[in-house]
Copies of this chain bind each other. A is one copy, B any other.
Amino acid sequence: MIKRKRIAELIESNDFGSEVTIMGWVKTKRDSKGGFSFLEINDGSTIKNIQVIAEGTMANYTDEILKLTTGCSVIVKGILAESPGKGQRIEVQATEVNVAGWTDPDTYPLQKKRHSFEYLRTIAHLRPRTNTFGAVARIRNALSYAIHSFFQERGFLYLHSPIITGSNCEGAGDMFKVTTLDLQGLKNKGGEVDFTGDFFGKPANLTVSGQLEAEVYALALGNVYTFGPTFRAENSNTYRHLAEFWMVEPEMAFCDLKENVDLGEALIKSTLAYILTNCKDDIDFFNSFVDKNLISTIDTIINNDFERLTYTEAIEILLKAKKQFEFTPAWGSDIQSEHERYLCEYFKRPVAVTDYPKEIKPFYMKVNKDNKTVKAMDILLPGIGEIIGGSQREDVYDTLLNRIKEASLDPADYWWYLDLRKHGTAIHSGFGLGFERLMQLVTGLSNIRDVIPFPRTPKNLEF
């Protein structure tokens, strides 16, 4: 089989006169009165199509080429040439156009017109052939690699934390159950489900976070990060919630809250800069068709120091605000989305809020000396809101044990997590970054279902 050239390479090439083979899908075809046709071919390597000129003298011109429609797959051999036409620098003068796969234009679900995002979600198996979802896929790929590269360059170890788990990081949250029990013939034992016959011999869930296991590795190997799927069985049908999503969770030994915020800021800036450089065409597309302020928003994040303030300072600012909030800000209550937006607008840049009241944060966050706040940190981005949540972790055995009890959790379930504080404990910190939130930021897409290949939400499990 002949090696094909990727269109992403070809459109940068100056190798005019050379013979090339391209393989891809017809985006559009235009038949000239002069007895030849223009084909726009895309192979997914770039948002740009390559123009193919098919002369009417070709053997299969009438029987095949003239019948090509959007969505057909073709293998084109030809000569790379400078294009005399407008809109493209190069074109391929075809010597052969072989049809790999036809499609019936009357039933092909992707027509030339613009389709709604809702409709495209119902054909998630074809939507990556559109400009928008091809661009999403390329950016998602590049953003993943940018994250890995960021951590690898800094000596972090990538950790595969477990997906099926017996523990529950947040001490709350709706979890999916995992079982091999025959649900139809489920036997109860005195009103209780008998898990002895289940695969793991006890209740199992899908993880909501790899943090606790990342702490294990941080307290042995220094700096680690996870990047994997996490799950919430929350019955939320919103623009911002998925039942299955990807999280990035760095965890660092000998790292305090301040360094934790610094790392979060560096991670966001570095990955955004990577995307601007490496996905220029796709970002330009989103900037033109989805959000005209996309690139300027990204630039603002990259080029400004993130503002740092405590929760207490944030509440003071919110209380002084002339704005009428739906939820009145109050020390001890959560910072709502509207408050996050206000803070980012107030400072005109990303904001890191630290040291939240301990009552509204999980048990594993390090308690401050005031015994009222914990070393928590959230990073808020303009237009997006919270993108990172993290903390310095409680590293003192007795304090952690008390916090577990206060949270009405069973210390026995956390024996190994507590154990880490018994044997060579250390100050350590980490955070979680919602990968899809970052994808929404760099694409400008408002619905989180459009930045993941196959979204999982309540009652949606197709594909």
Interface positions of A (Cβ within 8 A of B)? 1, 4, 6, 8, 23-26, 43-45, 71-73, 75, 100-104, 107-109, 123-126, 128-129, 133-134, 137-138, 140-141, 144-145, 148, 152, 155, 157-167, 174, 176-181, 183-184, 186, 188, 191-193, 199-202, 204, 206, 213, 216-217, 219-222, 224, 228-229, 231, 233, 235, 243-244, 246, 253-256, 258-259, 395, 416-417, 419-427, 452-454, 456, 458-463
Contacts and interface: CB of A to CB of B under 8 A. Distances in A.
A52 to B, nearest CB: 15
What is the count of identical protomers in the complex? 2
Contacts of A229: 160, 163, 228-229
A106 to B, nearest CB: 12
A423 B243 contact: no
Contact of A425 (B1, B73, B184, B255): B73
Contact of A165 (B128, B177, B419, B461): B461
B174 A184 contact: no
A200 B104 CA distance: 33
A206 to B, nearest CB: 7
Given A141-B158, A424-B72, A454-B162, A183 B178 contact: no
Nearest to A110: B423
A228 B301 CA distance: 30
Contacts of A134: 220-221
B213 A454 contact: yes
10 contacts: A1-B256, A125-B417, A137-B220, A137-B221, A160-B229, A162-B456, A177-B178, A183-B183, A186-B186, A202-B461
Given A100-B427, A144-B158, A179-B183, 14 more contacts: A45-B155, A73-B219, A73-B424, A125-B216, A137-B224, A140-B160, A144-B148, A162-B456, A164-B231, A176-B178, A200-B456, A201-B459, A228-B229, A416-B463
A453 B159 CA distance: 8
Given A140-B160, A243-B199, A420-B125, A101 B24 contact: no
Q: Which of A164, A178, A460 has the most CB of B within 10 A?
A: A178
Q: Which of A73, A186, A243, A259 has the most CB of B within 10 A?
A: A73
B137 A164 contact: no
Contacts of A427: 100
B1 A258 contact: yes
B463 A128 contact: no
A44 B164 contact: no
A416 B461 CA distance: 13
A60 to B, nearest CB: 17
B166 A254 contact: no
Nearest to A188: B184
A235 B199 contact: yes
B191 A184 contact: yes
A35 to B, nearest CB: 26
A138 B158 CA distance: 8
Contact of A161 (B107, B183, B453, B462): B453
Given A183-B181, A461-B166, A463-B216, A454 B161 contact: yes
A422 to B, nearest CB: 7
A100 B144 CA distance: 35
A137 B453 CA distance: 30
A128 B221 contact: yes
Given A145-B152, A160-B140, A233-B180, A200 B126 contact: no
B453 A160 contact: yes
A220 B44 contact: yes
Contacts of A155: 6, 8, 45
A423 B106 CA distance: 11
Q: Which of A107, A231, A421, A463 has the most CB of B within 10 A?
A: A463
Given A134-B220, A201-B459, A463-B216, A101 B424 contact: yes
